[in-house]
Amino acid sequence: MNIVPRRSLRFCVSVSLAAIAANPVPVDAAEALEDGFADDQEIIVTGEKEGYVAISSAGLKTDTPLIDTPQTVSVVTREQLDDQALQDIGDILRYTPGASIGQGEGNRDQITIRGQNSTADFFVDGIRDDVQYFRPLYNIERVEIHKGPNAMIFGRGGGGGIINRVVKSPIADRQFGEATASVDSFGAFYLSGDLNLPVGESAAFRLNGLYEEFNNHRDFYDGRRFAINPTFGAELGDKSRVMLSYEYVDDDRAVDRGNPAELRALGDDCSFADPCGPLTGYHDTLFGQPGTNRTTLQAHVVKLRVEHDFSDDLRFSTTTQYGDYDKLYRNVYPVDARSNDIRLTPAANSVTLDGYVDTTDRENFITQGNLLWTGDTGAFDHSLLLGYEYGEQKSANARRDILFDNNGDGLLDSSVSIPNLPNDDDQTTVSLTDPIVTPIFGFPAFSRSTVSDLKFLSLYVQDQISIGDHFEIIGGVRFDRFDLDVNDIQSSLLLSRTDEKFSPRFGAIYKPQENISIYASYAKSFLPRSGDQFLTLTPNNANLAPETFENHEVGVKWDLTQALSLTAALFRLDRDDQSILLDNQGNTTLSGSRTEGVEFQLVGKLTEQLQINAGYSYLDGQQRNATTVGGQELRLFQVPEHMVSLWTKYDFTPQFAAGVGVTHQSSQFATNDNTVRIPAFTRVDAALYYDVSEQVQLQLNVENLFDETYYPSVHNNDNISTGEPLNARLTVKFGF
């Protein structure tokens, strides 16, 4: 395949069987259907590239156009991923209003959407992908951020929203390939490939692969990742289609949990009235132990998708996925010891460290089926969806706590006591030096060892009803049953919990004209007490009902042109009965939260030469029914009040283009106690593009152009990540 000039690139757009029946598509796209194969939600067809504008999403399981979806959905297309050289989920969320990235303790993706924090609300082609790891984007066609509770469509969790990655699928009408090589200022590099091979007239094979090595500004940071994803798709006659895929991911990298908050003299502690900021002067310092701070992941995922058309109006699809995951996470990290035992109270110019080793072995089995009928009953047109989902999740999780040789005798024995010296302990206080020097340590004893077995069954029904040319109603409900058994080996406890919940969703749309929709929606979701990873239960939370999320939203969507879309939404999201951590001793209380906000986003082509993705969000996130300070309710943590993002790209000629991006986040609190504030920042990025020939493209991306000092993510008061200084990335693409 030749790489043609950027302004005339071809790509794959997604149109589902349901959308074809309910929403006519252009003749050339409809005729091309026979050349594509289904991914988890779609049939892939060829058509003109729409740049940064997506046509539809998986938000209703019927691939409904975004303008007819009564909720906020931000979509990042493959073209924007490539133009900005976005490497991970965190990069994407910097340009997504209402969403931000957490540090994830240096070993996983962790997101906050509309004030709700999660490590598990991730999906691939509509199937849950909840294991804690960093998700690669090498094989992704687009990324969808669905905001607000999504239990009706995606199941439990998703209180603030979910992230769905749509994977590239085989294409039968042409052979093509692309190889990409990229390197940045720190020496990090990646190599990726994408090869599509037709097999006869009605089948195709697609292979995506990635190898990358990590580096950044932080001391002792390194690592590498390898991933491969072969996929085969075929048509079985005129009415059936099948797709089989396998993905292997192998990730090995250093763990960096950032810097502690600033160190103050005794008696001048961080407080709500006088919050601390991040520690300065140690921008590149690892507050851990080189070699010890490490995380590894090996993942094997197999997926089978089958579709069958009973008639033009009745279609069935089923997807079955099996995943096997082996995860290791080992770290030494800074902690807040100011409220702990007096012997560990930090002296001047010292820092307190803790650590542990955590391992997780998990097997996920999920099968999902959807029966879709499109037709009419008198004056009403319907897209009626009936579906089920069954899954099993088996996890074995163990944690071994660290023990430091604080008494200097060379032995790791917490029972040893030497006069005038501290005892060995699971924390240690060391001098604030660069690099950090720790005493001898080991991980001798288990602090947690659990085996959990989760079985869940979901049944759901949804109807999309068109009433004339101007009104649409969407309503549905999902029933979920969760059976969780936990063997707490460390505590010799066998605990179980069964939850049965209904999750409704309702939306009403008024369309004064075809390209404008005004909507109102209500949705409800829930999260069982065992948390989003279902690893453990305690005697206390085993008796508690799930947390609930309720979202009320009104909004406007306006397709200004076929290639330019404006969205605006006003919402209120309530979370009830959340377990809130009150202090460093693990004390909690049942509380709630309310996030009220507004979001705007403008995406697409302003002119034939100028593309834009601009967004703004205002979020007012408050804890409710929790401890107040000075009569004021505390703010939700890791929720910037204002987020602004702008990315533009201008094609000066068919061969030469340039881009510029700006992101701004206002200040935010690191945790619920509101005693550490992360300062606001503004970061500027830029890019240049040049097509050397039809086969070769050059791209230069410069991140943090003005070398801003900023803190992009946190995990708690003393795990604060420092942002990269100015960094340039050179990318070369070869097409064939």
Q: What is the DSSP string of 111-123?
A: EEETTEEESS-EE
Cα separation, 545 vs 529, in Å, equals 7
pLDDT in tens, 662-671: 999 999 999 9
Residues facing residue 274 across a β-bridge: none
Tokens read off for 541? 């939370």
Closest C-alpha to 146, from 77, 90, 99, 78: 99
Identity of the residue numbered 97: P
pLDDT in tens, 611-648: 999 999 999 999 887 656 656 778 999 999 999 999 99
- pLDDT over 80 (residue 710): yes
Average of per-residue pLDDT values in the chain: 88
Contact, 549 vs 541, CB < 8 A? no
> Which pLDDT score is estimated for 425?
85
- pLDDT over 80 (residue 246): yes
Please report, for residues 131, 193, 691, 701, the alpha-carbon distance to residue 731 in angstroms, rounded to integers and kept in the order given.
30, 13, 12, 8
> Which pLDDT score is estimated for 349?
83
The single-letter DSSP state of residue 339 is T
pLDDT in tens, 455-470: 999 999 999 999 999 9
Tokens read off for 74? 């931000």
pLDDT in tens, 359-416: 999 999 999 999 999 999 988 999 999 999 999 999 999 999 999 998 888 888 776 6
Neighbours of 648 (CB within 10 A): 15
- What CATH class does 176-735 carry? mainly beta
pLDDT in tens, 16-26: 323 322 333 33
- DSSP per residue, 510-568: EEEETTEEEEEEEEEEEE-TTTTTT----TTGGGSPPEEEEEEEEEEEEEEETTEEEEE
> Which pLDDT score is estimated for 385?
97
Cα separation, 507 vs 523, in Å, equals 9
User: What number is the average pLDDT over the span 478-494?
Assistant: 92
Higher pLDDT, 11 or 213: 213
Contact, 223 vs 254, CB < 8 A? yes
> How far is C-alpha 189 from the chain's CA centre?
23
Closest C-alpha to 547, from 594, 589, 579, 521: 579
> Which pLDDT score is estimated for 2?
35
> Which pLDDT score is estimated for 433?
92
Cα separation, 499 vs 414, in Å, equals 42
- pLDDT over 70 (residue 343): no
Cα separation, 165 vs 141, in Å, equals 8
Cα separation, 277 vs 321, in Å, equals 45
**Residue spans in the chain of domains classed CATH 2.40.170.20:** 176-735
What does the CA dihedral 77, 79, 85, 89 come to, rounded to 10 degrees? 10
- pLDDT over 60 (residue 99): yes
Closest C-alpha to 527, from 70, 53, 117: 117
- pLDDT over 50 (residue 709): yes
Q: Long-range contacts for 21-25 (Cβ within 8 Å, ≥24 apart)?
A: 21/312, 21/313, 21/374, 21/383, 22/62, 22/64, 22/374, 22/381, 22/383, 22/464, 22/466, 23/64, 23/65, 23/68
Q: How confident is residue 32, by pLDDT bands cut at 50, 70 and 90?
A: very low
Cα separation, 580 vs 594, in Å, equals 14
- pLDDT over 60 (residue 199): yes
Q: How confident is residue 67, by pLDDT bands cut at 50, 70 and 90?
A: very high
User: What number is the average pLDDT over the span 41-46?
Assistant: 34
Direct distance between the N- and C-terminal alpha carbons of the chain, in angstroms, rounded to an integer? 4
Phi and psi (nearest 5°) for 22? -90, -25
- pLDDT over 60 (residue 705): yes
* CATH of the domain spanning 6-160, picked from 2.170.130.10, 3.40.50.150, 1.20.1250.20, 1.10.287.70: 2.170.130.10
pLDDT in tens, 554-568: 999 999 999 999 999
The conformational region for residue 102 under phi > 0 = left, psi -120 to 50 = alpha, else beta, is beta
Q: How confident is residue 578, by pLDDT bands cut at 50, 70 and 90?
A: low
> Which pLDDT score is estimated for 539?
83
Q: What is the pTM of this model?
A: 0.90
User: What number is the average pLDDT over the span 117-130?
Assistant: 93
Q: How confident is residue 45, by pLDDT bands cut at 50, 70 and 90?
A: very low
> Of all residues in the chain, what percent carry a pLDDT higher than 90?
74
Cα separation, 6 vs 735, in Å, equals 13
Q: What is the 3-state secondary structure (H, E, C) of 652-663?
A: CCCCEEEEEEEE
Lowest-pLDDT range of 315-329, 332-346, 347-361, 699-713: 332-346
- pLDDT over 70 (residue 687): yes
Q: Collapsing DSSP states into helix, strand and coil, what is residue 19?
A: helix
Cα separation, 519 vs 391, in Å, equals 33
Closest C-alpha to 79, from 153, 13, 142, 168: 142
**Residue spans in the chain of domains classed CATH 2.170.130.10:** 6-160
> Which pLDDT score is estimated for 46?
31
Lowest-pLDDT range of 207-221, 294-308, 417-431, 523-537: 417-431
> Which pLDDT score is estimated for 445?
87
Cα separation, 467 vs 511, in Å, equals 11
> Which pLDDT score is estimated for 50?
58
pLDDT in tens, 149-192: 988 999 988 889 999 999 999 999 899 999 999 999 999 999 99
